[in-house]
């Protein structure tokens, strides 16, 4: 059953053209009946609301953490918005940090900006596609006193990679961490069935799930 914040997130994603329906050729060569582009959350109101949805999903997950980390570059506004929302909505002053693409050689220097990396850390990003970027971030965190315990993303496509597992499932099993999403693609299908506004895309998405989807 859809939570209120999940329904509101899907509505925002559709209204911002973040979530689109049709035929889209993915990097894998698969023809997907939907496409998700988090870069279209491109104004202050959308980012404000998006941070709230990340905070809601993180609270609902029950995962214990001490701080947040946003991978450059997309993760920087996401981790900032999530930290602000946790303070505003849940009265939680959660420290956060993010990395630079290149280490700074002047001033205080270093590869990261923000709070000291320590304790249990949640990585905040938009999606996990192949898992390459997340593995790079985990490698950075493993060189510090911080302990990566989870990843927070906007949507879980529930889609197989080259093997039977999705990239998210691979990351979970490889590192023994939790990956939390605001919604899964099954939630999107549930929403479409509720509203019937995009009912013509329900069958293509379910067919795509049968061909390429994971069990959960």
Catalytic residue positions, numbered:
104, 106
3-state secondary structure string across the chain: CCCHHHHHHHHHHHHCCCEEEEEEECCCCCEEEEEECHHHCCCHHHHHHHHHHHHHHHHHHCCCCCEEEECCCCHHHHHHHHHHHHHHHHCCCCCEEEEEEEEECCCCCEEEEECCCCEEEEEECCCCCCCHHHHHHHHHHCCCCEEEEEEEEEEECCEECCCCCEHHHHHHHHHCCEEEEEEEHHHHHHHHHHHCCCHHHHHHHHHHHHHHECCC
């Amino acid at each position: 059953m859809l939570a209120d914040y999940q329904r509101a997130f899907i509505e925002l994603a559709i209204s911002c053209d973040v979530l689109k329906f049709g035929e889209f050729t993915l990097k894998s060569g698969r023809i997907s009946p939907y496409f998700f582009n988090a870069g279209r959350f491109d104004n202050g109101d959308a980012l404000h609301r998006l941070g709230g949805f990340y905070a809601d999903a993180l609270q609902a997950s029950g995962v214990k953490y001490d701080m947040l980390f946003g991978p450059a570059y997309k993760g920087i506004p996401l981790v900032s918005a999530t930290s602000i929302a946790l303070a505003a909505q849940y009265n939680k002053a959660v420290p956060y940090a993010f990395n630079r693409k290149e280490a700074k050689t002047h001033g205080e220097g270093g590869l990261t900006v923000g709070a000291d990396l320590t304790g249990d850390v949640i990585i905040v990003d938009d999606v996990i596609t192949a898992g390459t970027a997340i593995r790079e971030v985990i490698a950075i965190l493993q060189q510090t006193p911080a302990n990566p315990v989870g990843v927070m993303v906007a949507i879980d496509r529930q889609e197989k990679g080259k093997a039977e597992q999705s990239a998210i499932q691979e990351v979970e099993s490889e590192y023994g961490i939790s990956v939390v999403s605001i919604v899964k693609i099954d939630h999107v299908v549930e929403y479409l069935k509720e509203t019937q506004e995009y009912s013509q895309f329900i069958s293509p998405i379910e067919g795509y799930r049968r061909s390429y989807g994971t069990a959960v």
